[in-house]
Structure 1
């Protein structure tokens, strides 16, 4: 379980650190509202992680534990998805587009910041694909599954929160650090790492 957890944490770290909707919201909130006011949005995104993980744990995990065929199908979906992301990042122009907030007379409430991040994350189909493709592969069918899902969820949520917090701090201090050239190199490094992880996952076996 320890080696599988390290692989899972590495995939999660790279997947979360690569600019996506929730981290870009954290970056934007940090630059416009400050780190403290951005915290409700991070909590919303983390809560969505547990919602998605629970959905996988209640359904797909049982199916994959019982079927080598479906396990292989989902694994190769995961490999293809990682490879797709890696190639897309390697071909990136390094352009970072921040989401636009609606104009308002004053700063948004904590509830508004929370709901925006939660809804962006929980309605993102890529999130379901990611969790469905990867979570069950790191769960042993010979051991109680709920504690394993809880552990994976806590690890993912902790990484997610840490990365979002780092983006919020960076946004609050200097948004200019994330302009085109810096993002281009980030995309190149992340793309290469995702392709390497896709190769590792292709060799990963259910009972490893």
Structure 2
């Protein structure tokens, strides 16, 4: 597989990753909880990995050829983002309290990390921007006449996206925590803004397709 194809895809993917969206809002919300950023970003990466596997298996071509399927997935993704936004808006994240010797750490109560991890999978797995990258954009950087099978090429491109996504969002989450760790009121406002952003993105996606 040509290195130039991988670098070209990486450049386009990076531009899409740095554009604020649902992943940003979710990561910032998790970053306010300290160590919760790790399961959150892990969930995002796993969600995109699952989409990569689906596209590599050939389902992506079927989805790309049938606009109704992609529309349905986008609607589901929009509704899921609205749900996550309402949840975040109702319970905005805030920096954890300083733990005592017998108290909990900033990982939160039992099961919190697993819950955040699963939410991350849903946010990225149903993120329309991610679906666009993997279903519509990624196959364009493969070479059907190359020595590597198409599935292997998609796997390599997917790994490039996953690595970039994980590193970038981990940085965003840690930066959020570092800046707002001792500013609980500001953190709650940012948490509410993150929830409102998810609701707005999800609502726009739903309305955009319903009004067509």
Contact 2:142–2:154 at 8 Å: present in 1 too?
yes
| Cα distance between partner residues in 2 of 1:157 and 1:61 | 17
| Corresponding residue of 2:119 | 116
1:157 and 2:162 correspond: yes
Aligned residues of 2:54 and 2:60 also touching (Cα < 8 A): no
Question: How far apart, CA to CA, are the structure 1 residues paired with 2:90 and 2:38?
Answer: 17
Distance 2:46 2:31 in 1: 19
What TM-score, normalized to structure 2? 0.59
Deviation string, structure 1 residues 162-187 (Cα, Å, up to 9, x no partner) = 111111111112257xx9xxxxxxxx
How many residue pairs end up in the alignment?
148
Displacement of 1:103 in angstroms is: 6.6
Normalising by structure 1, what TM-score? 0.60
**8 Å CA contact retained: 1:8, 1:138:** yes
1:60 deviates by 5.4
Distance 1:56 1:101 in 2: 35
Supply the RMSD in Å over aligned alpha carbons.
Answer: 3.5
3-state secondary structure, aligned to 1:174: helix
Structure 1 portions without partners, runs of 5+: 64-69, 75-98, 180-208
Query: What is the CA deviation profile of residues 13-32 of structure 1, one whole-angstrom value per residue up to 9, with x for unaligned ones?
Result: 1111111212221122112x
What residue ranges of structure 2 are gaps of 5+ in the alignment? 68-87, 94-103, 181-185, 190-212
C-alpha displacement of 1:119: 0.9
Partner of 2:176: 171
| Aligned-pair CA distance for 1:58 | 1.8
What residue number does 2:31 align with?
30
